[in-house]
Structure 1
């Protein structure tokens, strides 16, 4: 007779194998429908409020550099989905506002390293806080059970996609 652990593994494996393959496809369709809707909402909120005085690409730049200090301009342009020239112009505006520090890479002459300044980090945090507050206000109309379901679902999605994302 197998150990309790191996029995649990087998039963969880059989559950996964017994799932209807269309269930994951239906879920994927809902994810692809919902995430862009949420992102459009966040972008519209940021544009409407103008409280942060950041464009969406500038916000995305600050957020990327917060997660990737020392990133190159090429890495930033890839993240933003724009040319290096566009990313450079966007970054230059942030440098002029003292939100980003641009410096030569120590070992590669043609590469620059980009880092948030303290002021940039503070501004990014303020922008995030404003949007989080607005989203929290919207979620206040839900029950605790509904909020818990959303929270659990987002945690699962995070785990699935975190390991697949590129830095």
Structure 2
């Protein structure tokens, strides 16, 4: 394995600084949402947004909670109009959770807020810097691979 050089350290430090900037974007995008739903509730909305209708037991498992406790948690989300329960077409014993249009709109609003914040930051950069950033971030994402869903859910991503 190659030795970690001073140049490598500078790249790592720059990457850490960029990750803090991106975490700031994430935090700003979700602040207003937390007046409406809790962070764990938002995590469920994000999960359902990316996976579609999902068995309630599978969502509870991904959230790391006991199904009976999770059922009461979902009751509050259904009452708030964010998700709905439906019987599974495969098994009447299984309950599927699905985003409502209000739940979808909430996730989409947060995503659009993030996109707008990132666009504002990018507008300060030159076209050449944006192109270089695009290539560098794609290379970084390719090298890192897809993050685990559980890791992203911790931050409501």
- With the length of structure 2 as denominator, give the TM-score of the two structures: 0.64
C-alpha displacement of 1:102: 1.4
Distance 1:166 1:58, change over 3 A: closer
The reply to whether residue 137 of structure 1 matches residue 136 of structure 2 is: no
CA distance in 1, matches of 2:82, 2:3: 47
Deviation per residue, 1:73-98 (Å, 9 max, x gap): 33323444x31456444433332232
Bigger Rg, structure 1 or 2: 1
The reply to whether residue 58 of structure 1 matches residue 41 of structure 2 is: yes
Q: Which runs of 5 or more residues in structure 2 are unaligned?
A: 151-157
The reply to whether residue 76 of structure 1 matches residue 65 of structure 2 is: no
Matched with 1:124 is: 107
C-alpha displacement of 1:21: 6.9
Contact 2:29 2:111 in 1 (8 A): no
Matched with 1:4 is: none
SS of 1:106's equivalent in the other structure is coil
SS of 2:113's equivalent in the other structure is helix
Equivalenced residues, count:
146
CA distance in 2, matches of 1:32, 1:92: 41
C-alpha displacement of 1:129: 0.9
Q: Which runs of 5 or more residues in structure 1 are unaligned?
A: 1-18
Contact 2:30 2:110 in 1 (8 A): no
SS of 1:127's equivalent in the other structure is helix
**What are the equivalent positions in structure 2 for 1:7-26 lying under 5 Å apart?**
20=2, 22=4
Distance 1:45 1:143, change over 3 A: same
CA RMSD of aligned residues (A): 3.8
Matched with 1:149 is: 132
C-alpha displacement of 1:166: 6.3
Deviation per residue, 1:106-125 (Å, 9 max, x gap): 33454321112223222221
